[in-house]
């Protein structure tokens, strides 16, 4: 299958990139598109993003630590 670039500016840019990389114009276009796809994040729905944020918050809210002794509580509140 052939890639046809009809826009003169796009054709010139592809030609220049191919020349600099010493590859075919098709390979230059493929490499440029692959690089751009890696650079641009995948857009997700608002619901997906909010779900991910909720998961992150739930993970942060998990109880942990240890039970404090009464003298530690008193010391924390300055009652020693």
Average pLDDT per run of 10 along the chain, which is 80 residues long? 85 95 94 94 88 87 79 84
Q: How many domains does the chain have?
A: 1
Q: Establish if 74 belongs to a structural domain.
A: no
Q: Establish if 69 belongs to a structural domain.
A: no
Q: Establish if 72 belongs to a structural domain.
A: no
For residue 45, the enclosing domain spans 8-59
Q: Establish if 78 belongs to a structural domain.
A: no
Q: Establish if 3 belongs to a structural domain.
A: no
Q: Establish if 21 belongs to a structural domain.
A: yes
Please report, for residues 35, 36, 44, 55, the alpha-carbon distance to residue 41 in angstroms, rounded to integers and kept in the order given: 12, 10, 9, 20
Would you state the pLDDT for residue 22? 96
Report yes or no on whether pTM surpasses 0.85: no
């Amino acid at each position: 299958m052939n890639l046809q670039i009809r826009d003169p500016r796009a054709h010139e840019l592809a030609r220049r990139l191919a020349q600099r990389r010493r590859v075919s114009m098709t390979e230059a276009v493929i490499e440029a598109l692959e690089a751009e796809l890696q650079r641009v994040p995948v857009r997700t729905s608002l619901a997906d993003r909010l779900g991910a944020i909720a998961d992150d918050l739930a993970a942060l809210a998990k109880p942990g630590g240890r039970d404090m002794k009464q003298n530690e509580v008193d010391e924390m509140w300055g009652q020693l």
